[in-house]
Amino acid sequence: MARTVWDSTVGKKTVMAVSGLVMLLYLVAHMIGNLKIFFGAGEFNHYAHWLRTVGEPFMHYEWTLWVIRVVLVVAVVAHATSAYQLSRRDIKARPSKYVHKKPRASYATRTMRWGGIILGLFIVWHILDLTTGTVHPGGFETGKPYQNILDTFSTWYGNVIYIVAMLALGLHIRHGFWSAAQTLGAGSRTRDRALKTVANVLALLLTVGFIAVPVGVMTGVVS
Ligand code: HEM
């Protein structure tokens, strides 16, 4: 049964939509959490500590965080796998008049694919920067994300990487949210305009909310 669903195009689109929405929920929470940086080091670092103790005493230290990490990894893998397989189908399904030319995927597929690749690379960079500290500029300190963020956005390349990724994120969510709504059957002639507006507003809020952090550091509002 699961195999039949996964093998169908609509099954893969559903997997993409649901995994995308899971990541979107995470991003809304992450963006709101990041804005606490404007309330100072004490409040921000306290929030980061709380993320590790959520659910105590039932959950052990960092258990909830690990549950979230596992859910996100499953979502990323499911999203990327179904995207790859759907784009292969999209190319193969082109009419045969293209037989002498190199087959090309549609415009939306290509921009979503490149956006997805940029975001995938960004996530790897971001974890090595602010979670493990491997590529972090300056002395990375576990448990001190406020200072770590100041270090990252005190370099020109840190600002460039994050801002480019946030713009890619906005575009990706704008189209992705809309597609997910269609796949999950929320679209209709009367609702499509509203859905487009929701997709635009959501993409804009996330992009602006995330970019506020590097801009805050660059302008000295966060110091
Ligand atoms: C300016 C924008 C961003 C800032 C300042 C930021 C900051 C941070 C910080 C400080 C952490 C570590 C939290 C901690 O260990 O307590 C973190 C974790 C994380 N961020 Fe971001 N983030 C930003 C944007 C994003 C975006 C756009 C994504 C996804 C597309 C993302 C995905 C993640 C993930 C998955 C983790 C969890 C890593 C882990 O601990 O397992 N972040 N972020």
- Domain boundaries, given as residue ranges, for the chain: 2-92+106-219
Q: How far apart are CA 67 and CA 63, in angstroms?
A: 6
pLDDT category, 103, cuts 50, 70, 90?
A: low
Smallest CA separation from ligand 1 atom 16, residue: 48
Note the pTM of the prediction, 2 decimals.
0.93
In sequence order, the 6+-apart residues with CB closer than 8 A to the CB of 24 are 173, 176, 177, 202
How confident is the model at residue 106, as a pLDDT?
75
Distances from the Cα of 154 to the Cα of 32, 38, 83, 92, angstroms: 22, 16, 35, 47
Q: How far apart are CA 89 and CA 98, in angstroms?
A: 15
| Model pLDDT for residues 170-202, shown as the tens digit of each residue | 999 999 999 999 999 888 888 999 999 999 999
How confident is the model at residue 99, as a pLDDT?
58
pLDDT exceeds 60 at position 98: no
CATH classification (class only), 2-92+106-219: mainly alpha
Residues with CB under 6 A from ligand 1: 27, 30, 34, 48, 51, 69, 72, 119, 123, 126-127, 130-131, 145, 149, 162, 169, 210, 213-214
How confident is the model at residue 1, as a pLDDT?
79
How confident is the model at residue 17, as a pLDDT?
97
How confident is the model at residue 186, as a pLDDT?
87
Percent of the chain with pLDDT over 90: 80
Smallest CA separation from ligand 1 atom 29, residue: 123
How confident is the model at residue 92, as a pLDDT?
74
C-alpha of residue 198 to centroid of ligand 1, in Å: 24
| Model pLDDT for residues 138-174, shown as the tens digit of each residue | 889 999 999 999 999 999 999 999 999 999 999 999 9
Smallest CA separation from ligand 1 atom 40, residue: 131
